[in-house]
Each structure stands twice: as structure tokens, then as C-alpha cells.
Amino acid sequence: MIGKTLGHYQIIEKLGEGGMGVVYKARDTHLDRFVALKILPPEKVADPERKQRFSQEAKSASALNHPGIITIHDIASDGGMDFIAMEYVEGKTLDRLIPRKGMPVKDTLKIGAEIADALAAAHSIGIIHRDIKPSNIMVSDQGRVKVLDFGLVKLKEAAQAAESQTTETAPVLTDEGRILGTVYYMSPEQAEGKKVDARSDIFSFGSVLYEMVTGRRAFEGPSVISTLSAILHRDPKPVAETVLDAPPELQRIVARCLRKAPERRFQSIADVSLVLRELGEDLQSGTPAIGGVPPKGVSSPRAGIGKRGLLAAALVMAAVAGGYWMTRRRPPLAAPALTRLTFDSGLTFEPALSPDGKLVAYASDRSGDGNLDIWVQQVAGGEAVRLTRHAADDREPAFSPDGDKIAFRSEREGGGIYVVPAIGGNERLIARHGRTPRFSPDGQWIAYWVGSAASIDNSGPTWAGQIFVVPSAGATPMSAMPSTLASVGR
């Protein structure tokens, strides 16, 4: 093919080859620019399904307009050869960039966030990639990410996509029971031949993220069957066991992406991008990992300073600070700056601040459905996210110490304490009839109150009740105070 011309594209050199075709570098003789030509080999043209998938790749990807997704210029046929003309990117695929021991954490977070941004753009218009893997991700010489190969996509049902990002996909090209994708990176639902949705891409993305930071595949066996079995039944080795200085936050992100049940993963790839960027910003500011060990790729601000130097510096600083404290004139205290976070009509109350101070959860009837739901939003600004959607009132939110979960009181099914992931997901019943939940400092227990108004007189209600605690993972509650508590007022 080198030197030949297809349409108005002159082929220069071969770039790569995959299951859906061979890719060449070519020159567009009309516009005098380089392009990448993806050609379906002639011997595979007779396969109608493969040709249809090849055509679908171009049509789906051409609907996307995002800097992180390869641009499709043209789809054509010449001399019995079908081909796609795509944007040509100088760079390397991600599988050629991942070192044997993994990438630095800061690089993993940057590239990972850009991949997630690109997938979020595709998911927003109903396109699911279904074959996310390192060889389908290009990193340009300038460090920009480009996601390739939408040849295995499925389109989500448009009517359901507006309602939820977790709708099933419409079987446009393949029926349930067929397995498509690359074995090492496919989701459990793909491995079982089930219908998939956007959360399948999140699982595959988690496998890529795991490989980026550890240098190893999350799931790999000596055969296809053993690899599929690992995907369905086993969890990969924790990131921290391979990368000792990896931030615990990164390990939690990867683990959540790789949960077997789709409802237990992140529910939106846009949320994954957000948490990766926030973690990257924290590391960029020099914040060390928990335990004082800086993450891989982030230099410690104390590197190279001996213990004696640190002690001497500390003594000098203490002396200077002490002298300044004794002699300075204290300025008057400034009035605190108040920032309004909500602007809704109706009732918005019972705020709870996350331990890191970045999120606030609250109860509100802002949805207009006539009931209270739990909402969460960033203190720095941005749109609020609705966590609960039940017709009954949900209120009294409380963050877990790690900020990953929110406990709340719900009036559904007679009332009780529920827990929901802080960035969205399925609510889980923890205890019946409880109110005002509070996490223990280690996050292992939730304390709550059960009671009611024992009597009402001119001075107001007299409340009677008991305090209980229950494991935050859910178990039979036990009374923390067996005696009845009574007080006037609430």
C-alpha cells in the first residue's frame, strides 16, 4: 500500500494494525495535510457485520467534537477498499508509554482526567466506547490525549438518556449474548455478553488507570477463560501493594471504578474526571500523601534537609515568632466573609460540610417534586447534584470521616437511616426508624436516635427516645444507652 493513492489520499507509511483494520499515514492531496487512514482489509469486506461496525465507527465518532477525541474527516471507498480518514496525531499510544513499574502519579492523574473528559463528552450524546484500552488512547508529543477507535460503540436509547446516565444501551449492532471488546479490559457485564451502559466504560477506564499507575494489567490470566474468570470473580491486587507511595485517594478511585456490580461503581465518568483533577491539584500544591510520604512523581519539600538543619531552623523560627508575638500590635478582627451557596425558592436546610471542606450536603425541595431530597455541591461553586430521588422526604445528611459516604434520614417505608455515596449511587438501608445519623471518627459506626413526642403541653412537646449505634457497613443495631432518654423540646 505504500505509495498508492486511495481517493485523494496518498499513503506514506504504515502506523499500526488492529482487529478492525490497518492504519496508514497519508497525505490529503486536496488540503495538503497529513491524515491517518484506517483501511478495512479486502479479505474482510465480505463480512457484513465487520463492515457495518467499521462504518458505524466513522458515523459515531464524527458526531463527537471534543479535543480529546480523534477527529473524523471522511469515510469513503476506493477500488473495493473501505477507509476512514482521521486526524493525524504525532505521538504514541498509551500502551507504549506505560513503564514496567508504572507512570508517576501526577502523570497518571493528568492523562486519566483527560481520558475521562473525552468519554464524558461521548456519553453525554449517548455514545459508549465499549473498547477502552491503552492501545486505543493516543498521547501526542505535546502531552494531549486523543481517544481512538469507536468501532465497537453502541448508542444508548435517546429517550432514556435524558432521564438517567445508567440506562441500558440499545442493541444496534450486536445482540445480547455476543462478547465484543478486548478481554483484558472488558467489564463483567461485557464478559457475560449482557447489554452494557456507560458504567461499562467506567470499569474499562479503571483497568487502564490501574495499569498506568502499577505497570501491570488489573486482570490477566494464562488463557482467555482464566482472564474472564478473574474479571467476573476476583479483585486485582490493591494499588498500594504494588506502588507503596500511591495516595490512598487514588487507590479508592481505582477500586470504585473496578467494582463488579455496575451500581456500585461511579455512576458518571464526569465525576471520575472531577475527583482525579482535584487529587492532582492537591498533589501539585505539595500536599503529601497520608503518612507524610510524598506520592511517586512529587518531590518532597523537605528533601535534602538533614534533621539537624530542620531542628536549627525550627528553633530560629520559634524565637523569631515568639519575639514578634510579644511585640506586635494586633489588628482588629475583620468581619467574616459570607458566601451564599444556594439561591432556590422553597426549603433548603440542614447543611453538612464534608471533612475536607470542599462539599456541602443539604436537604431541599428544589426539585419541585413536592418532597425533600439530599443534594450535594462544591463549596467553591458549581451545579448542585441530586443524590436521592425517592418520593418520600430525605433529610438530616451527615458525611463519613473520609468524605466518601453520606448518611441520612428517609421517611420511605416507615423511616430509617440510609447511606449513599457522596458523588451519587444507590442508597442502602442501614437501620429502621432512626433519625439524626452521625458517623464515628473512624467511620466504622453510625449513631442515631429513635424516639417520638411522649406528650405535648403548653410548653411544647416532651420527647422520649433511645440512642443506637450500627456498623456503617450495615448490621443488627445495638443500643448504646439502654435507658429511655427524655427532654423538653427537641
Catalytic residues: 131
Residue 215 DSSP one-character state:
S
Task: Classify 172 as helix, strand or coil.
Answer: coil
What end-to-end distance do the CA atoms of the chain give, in Å? 82
Q: Cα separation of 267 and 336, whole Å?
A: 37
Residue 233 CA to residue 250 CA, distance in Å, equals 22
Backbone angles phi, psi at 146, to 5 degrees: -135, 120
What the block records as the C-alpha cell of 328 is 506586635
Specify which residues 406 forms β-bridges with: 399, 420
Q: From residue 214, how far is each of 108, 217, 236, 246, 379 by CA, in Å?
A: 10, 8, 11, 9, 33
- 3-state secondary structure (DSSP) of residue 447: strand
Q: What are phi and psi of 248, to 5 degrees?
A: -55, -30
Name, in order, each residue with C-beta under 8 angstroms of 419's C-beta and a sequence gap of 6 or more. 405, 406, 407, 408, 427, 428, 430, 446, 472, 474
